[in-house]
């Protein structure tokens, strides 16, 4: 037998296989290969989803960066709102008796109406209001120092706050207009102008409670305000029938337009609540286009007026901020401003369908911008608008002082030559010629000459008499052809003529004012509802059974406009004839009967010729509170020193601004 084989020898070693050209580096390359392997192992759907999400995040980051860049360019490093609010407003603070008493509650006792406080003068940086205002009603010193940073709004509850706002189409003073075919950094502070302040107004020690008719206006205002407060608080305009709101600029247009009206009517509670909203909620840093003209007369004019009446510097700070945001509109080749400007981005542009601006728009912002320069000492506001005034003065294409309706922002020349009207798109050009002359202390003879020439042009080319009652009316002229068409807007003219006579212009202007005032009253009185149509045509042929005033179906709507009661106010102030107060009372009663909405507010109507179906249009324009009710309240006042015509000039939205004393 053979012995078993010996066991295999034990070997202690490890077999390792090495690959040439590769090394171990803490497994980083292996991890990269591992990630790539895992990526390749994903399905095509999974890989597409991940790539889409990454691309979406990159796009969002790019858009956000672009948005921030635009805002930086628009604001140009201007001081923040919080920094500006902590700067004390300049100028002599009100230290003399004001024209107006402090606001009171609607049911306040007469004793509360005459409480007036004299404000102590303070050190200042810039020019302040011209000693016309009184201390803001019951504003705590805490509110004064903290202002917008800490102030909270006791805003009314609004069941419609979440509704989608309805944008308003382009309009002229509230009238829908169909399209026709066819940023600067805040400038360095300038030295305050040398214009002296207006003399202090008389202390009204014997100012009593409102009379019966004024109480009627207060009641109408409170009813309108109830609807706005309940259904559209902080929005532009009330839709009283549907109990909702519409948006134009998204800046609380009705609230701002009504601020000085509340002060004048003595509505202390309502004014305070509105002031808190302005302090905490009115923010101009928003990406929205505004119409230069409409936003200037309503927002800028309303803030400046409220500052003068209340003495509250909050409103001047807001006005200066807003004025700066409007300035890019003047960045055109001709310096004739564009019609629209985005107050968030600083981008200005003309309407979509044309490069023209309307003449009234570019020549009816001067009162407000000039006053803003006077108060702040920043010259650029006044220089911009006065350049426009001088340019218009030098242009050809006029007809005996009458101007066309359109002007091109690139060439700076009139367009649509040969068409002349005192209605929409031209009306307030003539109004502001006179009012700028008055505002500046009657020193600018160029403005006066242009105004007097225009009145002569009206007499020569646009003035006619109707049949059978021989009513004087102002028509339109198109390429030599006369049209017996008169907008209700033209009813500003009797008041403007009377204002001129009050300031020393020819008495023959008063004769024309009296005649046109009768016509504007008849435009209301001859309608079944007692309210004027938007447009009237006049019969100029003597025929039986024809009335003087003819209304076409498309023109018989009423927008709660103020022009008739505005002129009634001026005619009563100048003549003292109480029939103008009676005519105004008739119109207020008609508003209450045919436009009042039970749940709150007043609505424009479609048919002034039907007492049974006036057809509410479901819209209350901001100027109903800003102008119509204000002028009615002043018309019914027995005190001619309440906003005296010798100390104040009203802008075209009825916001009173002080008259400058002559140098």
Each residue's pLDDT tens digit, 32-78:
556 677 777 788 888 888 888 888 888 888 887 776 665 555 444 44
Residue 235 has pLDDT above 70, yes or no: yes
Could you tell me how many residues make up the chain? 663
pLDDT reported for residue 70: 57
Q: Which of 450, 563, 618, 653 is an active site residue?
A: 563
Looking at per-residue pLDDT, the higher value among 105 and 505 belongs to 505
- Strands (E) located in 215-371: 237-239, 244-246, 289-291, 340-342, 348-349, 356-358
Return the minimum-mean-pLDDT range out of 128-137, 489-498, 532-541, 608-617: 128-137
- 609-645: pLDDT as tens digits: 999 999 999 999 999 999 999 999 999 999 999 999 9
Return the minimum-mean-pLDDT range out of 232-246, 254-268, 541-555: 541-555
Residue 225's nearest CA partner among 276, 267, 266 is 267
- The SS3 assignment for 201 reads coil
Return the minimum-mean-pLDDT range out of 33-42, 462-471, 515-524, 651-660: 33-42
- 513-553: pLDDT as tens digits: 999 999 999 999 999 999 999 999 999 998 878 889 999 99
534 classed as catalytic: yes
Q: Which of 237, 294, 356, 476 is an active site residue?
A: 294
563 classed as catalytic: yes
Looking at per-residue pLDDT, the higher value among 255 and 193 belongs to 255
Is domain 212-658 in CATH 2.60.98.20, yes or no? no
pLDDT reported for residue 594: 98
Q: Which helix (H) or strand (E) holds 325?
A: helix 313-326
Q: Tokens 């003449």 label which residue?
A: 359
Q: Which of 236, 356, 427, 618 is an active site residue?
A: 427
Residue 469 CA to residue 59 CA, distance in Å, equals 71
- The SS3 assignment for 616 reads strand
Distance of CA 464 to the CA centre of its chain: 34
Range 130-148 average pLDDT: 41
Burial of 379 (0-12, 13-18, 19+ CB in 10 A): middle
Q: What is the mean pLDDT of the chain?
A: 82
Residue 663 has pLDDT above 90, yes or no: no
pLDDT reported for residue 4: 63
DSSP secondary-structure letter at 491?
G
Residue 509's nearest CA partner among 447, 552, 571 is 571
- The SS3 assignment for 264 reads helix
- Strands (E) located in 219-261: 237-239, 244-246
Residue 261 has pLDDT above 80, yes or no: yes
pLDDT reported for residue 15: 52
Residue 158 has pLDDT above 50, yes or no: no
Return the minimum-mean-pLDDT range out of 19-23, 31-35, 455-459: 19-23
**Token duo for residue 598:** 């039970």
- The SS3 assignment for 415 reads strand
Q: Which of 534, 566, 618, 653 is an active site residue?
A: 534
Instruction: Check the annotation: does 652 bind a ligand.
Output: yes
Residue 214 CA to residue 218 CA, distance in Å, equals 6
- The SS3 assignment for 478 reads strand
Residue 7 has pLDDT above 70, yes or no: no
260 classed as catalytic: no
């Amino acid at each position: 037998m053979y012995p078993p084989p010996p066991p295999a020898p034990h070997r202690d070693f490890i077999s390792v296989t090495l690959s040439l050209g590769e090394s171990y580096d803490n497994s980083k390359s292996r991890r990269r290969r591992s990630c790539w392997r895992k990526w390749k192992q994903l399905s095509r759907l999974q890989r597409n989803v991940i790539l889409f999400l990454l691309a979406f995040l990159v796009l969002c980051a790019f858009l956000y960066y672009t948005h921030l860049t635009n805002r930086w360019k628009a604001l140009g490093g201007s001081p923040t709102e919080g920094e500006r609010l902590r700067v004390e407003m300049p100028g002599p603070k009100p230290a003399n008796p004001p024209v107006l008493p402090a606001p009171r509650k609607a049911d306040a006792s007469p004793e509360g109406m005459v409480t007036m406080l004299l404000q102590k003068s303070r050190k200042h940086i810039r020019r302040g209001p011209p000693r016309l205002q009184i201390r803001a009603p019951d504003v705590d010193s805490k509110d004064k120092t903290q202002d917008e940073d800490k102030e909270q709004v006791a805003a009314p509850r609004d069941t419609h706050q979440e509704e989608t706002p309805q944008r308003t189409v382009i309009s002229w003073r509230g009238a829908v207009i169909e399209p026709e075919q066819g940023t600067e950094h805040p400038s360095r502070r300038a030295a305050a102008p040398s214009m002296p302040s207006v003399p202090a107004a008389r202390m009204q020690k014997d100012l009593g409670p409102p009379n019966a008719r004024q109480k009627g206006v207060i009641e109408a205002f409170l009813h309108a305000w109830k609807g706005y407060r309940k259904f559209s608080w902080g929005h532009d305009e009330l839709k009283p029938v549907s109990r909702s709101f519409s948006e134009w600029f998204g800046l609380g247009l009705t609230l701002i337009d009504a601020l000085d009206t509340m002060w004048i009517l003595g509505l202390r509670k309502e004014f305070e609540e509105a002031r808190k909203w302005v302090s905490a909620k009115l923010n101009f840093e928003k990406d929205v286009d505004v119409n230069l003209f409409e936003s200037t007369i309503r927002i800028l004019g309303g803030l400046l007026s409220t500052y003068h009446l209340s003495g509250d510097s909050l409103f001047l700070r807001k006005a200066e901020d807003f004025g700066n945001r409007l300035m890019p509109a003047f960045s055109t080749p001709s310096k004739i401003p564009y019609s629209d400007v985005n107050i968030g981005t600083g981008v200005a542009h003309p309407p979509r369908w044309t490069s023209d601006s309307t003449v009234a728009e570019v020549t009816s912002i001067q009162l407000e911008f000039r006053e803003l320069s006077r108060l702040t000492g920043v010259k650029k506001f006044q220089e911009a608008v006065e350049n426009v005034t001088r340019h218009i003065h030098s242009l050809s294409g006029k007809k005996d002082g009458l101007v066309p309706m359109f002007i091109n922002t690139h060439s700076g020349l009139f367009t649509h030559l040969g068409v002349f009207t005192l209605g929409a798109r031209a009306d307030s050009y003539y109004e502001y010629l006179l009012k700028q002359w008055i505002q500046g202390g009657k020193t600018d003879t160029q403005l006066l000459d242009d105004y007097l020439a225009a009145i002569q042009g009206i007499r020569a080319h646009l003035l006619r008499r109707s049949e059978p009652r021989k009513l004087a009316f102002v028509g339109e002229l198109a390429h030599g052809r006369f049209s017996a068409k008169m907008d209700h807007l033209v009813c500003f003219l009797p008041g403007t003529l009377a204002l001129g006579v009050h300031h020393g212009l020819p008495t023959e202007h008063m004769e024309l004012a009296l005649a046109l005032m009768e016509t504007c009253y008849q435009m209301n009185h001859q309608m079944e509802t007692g309210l004027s149509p938007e447009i009237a045509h006049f019969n100029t042929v003597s025929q039986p059974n024809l009335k003087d005033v003819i209304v076409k179906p498309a023109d018989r709507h009423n927008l709660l406009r103020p022009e008739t009661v505005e002129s009634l106010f001026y005619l009563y102030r100048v003549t003292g004839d109480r029939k103008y107060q009676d005519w105004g009372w008739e119109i207020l009663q008609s508003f209450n009967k045919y436009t009042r909405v039970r749940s709150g507010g007043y609505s424009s109507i479609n048919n002034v010729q039907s007492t049974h179906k006036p057809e509410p249009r479901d819209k209350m324009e901001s100027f109903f509170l800003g102008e119509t009710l204000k002028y009615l309240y002043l018309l019914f006042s027995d005190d001619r020193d309440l906003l005296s015509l010798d100390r104040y000039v009203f802008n075209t939205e009825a916001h009173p601004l002080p008259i400058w004393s002559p140098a």
